[in-house]
Amino acid sequence: MPRVPLVRVEGKTYTVRPDLSMTAARFAQGEQLDPEARDQIARDTEAAYGLGDCLYFYAGFACPGFGDVVLAYDPELSDGHPGNASTFDTGGMFKGYIQGGGLASDADRAAHTASDLGALASWRSRLDIWLTEHFRDVVAYLDHTRPFGADPSGRLAHPANDRRAWTLEVRLHAAVALFDHLAFAVVRQDFLQQALAEAASTSALLDRLLDLIGANRLVASDPTEPCELATSRIIAYASPSAGASP
Amino acid sequence: MTTGRVIAFDGTPVAGGAGARAAIISVEGDDLLRVTDGRTLTHERLADLVRDGFVTAVEGELVAPSLDGRAVYRSIGEHRPGVAEELDGVRWTRQEDIEVTYLRSQDAGAVLEAHADGRRLEALAAHADGRPKDAVRLARQGLMAVPGLRESSLAAKLYAVLVAEALHDADASRQVQREIKLMLASSLHEIATLQGYAIFAGRSTHRASSELRDVDLDRAKSRSPRTPATAYRELEV
């Protein structure tokens, strides 16, 4: 079973709880990831589909639509936490961005989400089955390749859909420490320098960031976009034979 | 060649920083918006992303002569007139506390280099004026923007300011040295360190400071726009 990291993309200002946005200062302080750090679409989705208050990750996908601070965690991050998982982006489903012949109405989408809902504890075994059924291998899942096969909703084959229609969304009902189980983080150069500046007055915080840089676990992507660089590192993490060392 | 109008760029600016970002471009007659990293967006999705703070809307008219460039932003800081970071042909659109332009990727680097070098001169001036916190802040702002940081001699000069301001404190000095070794190519370690010692010892700061004042005044104003690096080199002759 490939080790696919849990990926969370941060960096922008949340409209509901802007104080929980991942600023360079909060990154330097190592502030925990909190389920409260989510926007109104996520809250509406959770209410409509009964998902609970969630801390969101994708299995192996650094989605550029969510920001430019990419946090990739070892899959063991989820161990021991309550939560659930889906084989698509539930916010995109709720908003109607994910299309398919069986997803025409709100009721259709709610029914499909309910039938797809799985327990957090089984997300890795579920991903393994998902890969077997719809992808040549894990690299195909991680590098934007469209899935083969069909599903009752028609979302996998619909030409208007993108990766968010078939990437596992993994949701924790818990806050987690920012740097525990962190496999690597990819940020922009301006963010990294700001974080180093913020940490400079506290020796332990600065040493922690420098430790991560020294271990090649905290990197600036410039001039490459963070999510683009993160994608190659995610592939290398999940399939070491397919790419450079993560 | 397809042209369009830059209506947003990816991400949010870092306070005091500068950088090149993927631009979101509206092409007349197209339903979908083009992102210069290859993605497309609907207008509805863009509105959501702007509302939720995932992208930054560009106010005013910013033409994209091609679809393969980059949006470059820079914070509006306390620039001295003589170190204005202007390059010929680059037009900035101003909004709130940043300026934005759209450039070919290869030109974006030159603009960011000019911005970073301007911050270096400001940092040296702050050091010479006895404002160490400002010197460190300005040097960091330069490091946010300098292209190809690892192999950049300009980055080494910016780190030299951090070296100089840390020399009074053993722990701070150790950490700056550690950061230099992690962030810069080995050939630049010594340059950053020795220049930092020189700044600390006052061998170069007084000169840099007085030169900056020269640049601020008539000499700078009487010439066509040029990069700070060019201005500095002229003064060093």
Assess contact for B165 and B131: CB atoms under 8 A.
no
A114-128 per-position pLDDT tens digit: 999 999 999 999 999
Q: Measuring CA to CA, which residue among B117, B122, B72 is closest to residue B98?
A: B72
The string of DSSP codes covering B112-136 is HHHHHHHHHHHHHHHHHTT-HHHHH
pLDDT in tens, B62-72: 999 988 899 99
| Helices B132-145 and B105-128: angle between axes, nearest 10 degrees | 170
Judged by CB atoms closer than 8 Å, whether chains meet at A65 and B49 is answered as yes
Say if residue B225's pLDDT is above 80. Answer: no
Cα end-to-end distance, chain A, whole Å? 18
pLDDT above 60 for B224: no
pLDDT band at residue B13 under the 50/70/90 scheme: confident
pLDDT at residue A208 in the model:
97
Mean pLDDT of A23-30: 94
Q: Which residue has the higher pLDDT, B40 or A179?
A: A179
Residues B235 and B227: beta-carbon distance below 8 Å: no
Work out the average pLDDT over A142-161. 92
How confident is residue B228, by pLDDT bands cut at 50, 70 and 90? very low
CB contact under 8 A, B140 and A64: no
- Binary contact (A39, B20; C-beta < 8 A): no
Residues of B within an 8 Å Cβ radius of A: 10-20, 22, 37, 39, 45, 48-49, 51-54, 105, 108-109, 136-137, 140-141, 143-145, 147, 149, 171-172, 175, 178-179, 182-183
SS3 (DSSP) at B38: coil
CB contact (8 A) between residue A197 and residue B140: yes
What does the pLDDT look like over A192-230, one tens digit per residue?
999 999 999 899 999 999 999 999 999 999 888 899 999
A191 contacts chain B (CB < 8 A): yes
- Band (A25; pLDDT cuts 50, 70, 90): very high
CB A24 within 8 A of CB A191: yes
pLDDT digits (tens, 9 = 90+) for B117-171: 999 999 999 999 899 999 999 999 999 999 999 999 999 999 999 999 999 899 9
Average pLDDT for chain A: 93
Closest CA to A197 of A184, A206, A189: A206
CB contact under 8 A, B11 and A66: no
Percent of chain A with pLDDT over 90: 81
Are A3 and A179 contacting, i.e. CB atoms less than 8 angstroms apart?
A: no
Q: Give the number of residues written for chain B.
A: 237
Say how many CB pairs under 8 Å bridge A and B: 94
Q: Which residues contact A88 (CB under 8 A, 6 or more apart)?
A: A98, A116, A155, A164, A165, A166, A167, A169
Q: What is the pLDDT of residue B86?
A: 63
Q: What is the pLDDT of residue B11?
A: 82
Region of A24 on the Ramachandran plot (φ > 0 left; ψ -120 to 50 alpha; else beta): alpha
B136, A39: Cβ pair inside 8 Å?
no
pLDDT in tens, B83-126: 555 666 788 888 888 999 999 988 899 999 999 999 999 999 99
Judge: A206–B175 Cβ closer than 8 Å, yes or no: yes
Backbone angles phi, psi at A34, to 5 degrees: -120, 135
Tell me if B115 sits within 8 A of B73, measured CB to CB: no
**Phi, then psi, of B69 in degrees rounded to 5:** -95, -160
From the list A65, A190, A207, the residue facing B17 with the nearest CB is: A190
Main-chain phi, psi angles of A62, to 5 degrees: -95, 100
How many C-beta atoms lie closer than 10 Å to residue B37's C-beta?
Answer: 17
3-state secondary structure chain A: CCCCCEEEEECCCCCCCHHHCCCHHHHHHCCCECCCCCCHHHHHHHHHHCCCCCEEEEECCCCHHHCCEEEEECHHHHCCCCEEEECCCHHHHHHCCCCCCCCCCHHHHHHHHHHHCEEHHHHHHHHHHHHHHHCCCHHHHHCCCCCCCCCCCCCCCCCCCCHHHCCCEEEECCCECCCCCEEEEEECHHHHHHHHHHHCCCHHHHHHHHHHHHCCCEEECCCCCHHHHHHHHHHHHHCHHHCCCC
- CA dist A227 and A85 (Å) reads 22
| Residue tagged 């923007």 (tokens) | B145
Flag whether pLDDT at B214 surpasses 80: no
Shortest CA distance from A210: residue in chain B: B179
Answer yes or no: are the C-beta atoms of A164 and A95 closer than 8 Å: no
Provide the pLDDT confidence category of residue B219 given band limits of 50, 70 and 90: very low
Q: Using the predicted structure, report yes or no on whether residue A27 has a pLDDT greater than 80.
A: yes
State mean pLDDT over A71-86: 98
Asked if B17 lies within 8 A of A210 by C-beta distance, the reply is: no
Q: pLDDT (tens digit, 9 = 90+) per residue, B169-181?
A: 999 999 999 999 9
Per the document, the length of chain A is: 246
How much is the pLDDT for B80? 52
B234 to A193, B142, B156, B227: CA distances (angstroms): 30, 21, 21, 11
DSSP letter for B166, please: H
pLDDT at res. B78: 56
Q: Determine which of A222, A227, A228 to mutate to test the interface with B (most B C-beta atoms within 10 Å).
A: A222
Residue A240 is predicted with a pLDDT of 78
Structure confidence at residue B79 as a pLDDT band (50, 70, 90): low
First vs last C-alpha separation in chain B = 44
Instruction: Flag if A12 and B51 touch (Cβ within 8 Å).
Output: no
Confidence class for position B215, pLDDT limits 50, 70, 90 = very low
pTM of the model: 0.85
ipTM > 0.95 for the complex: no
Average pLDDT over residues B38-46: 86
> Considering CB atoms only, which of B108, B144, B172 is closest to A193?
B144
Instruction: Please give the Cα distance from A135 to B26 (Å, whole number).
Output: 34
Q: Which of B114, B164, B106 is nearest to B142 (CA)?
A: B114
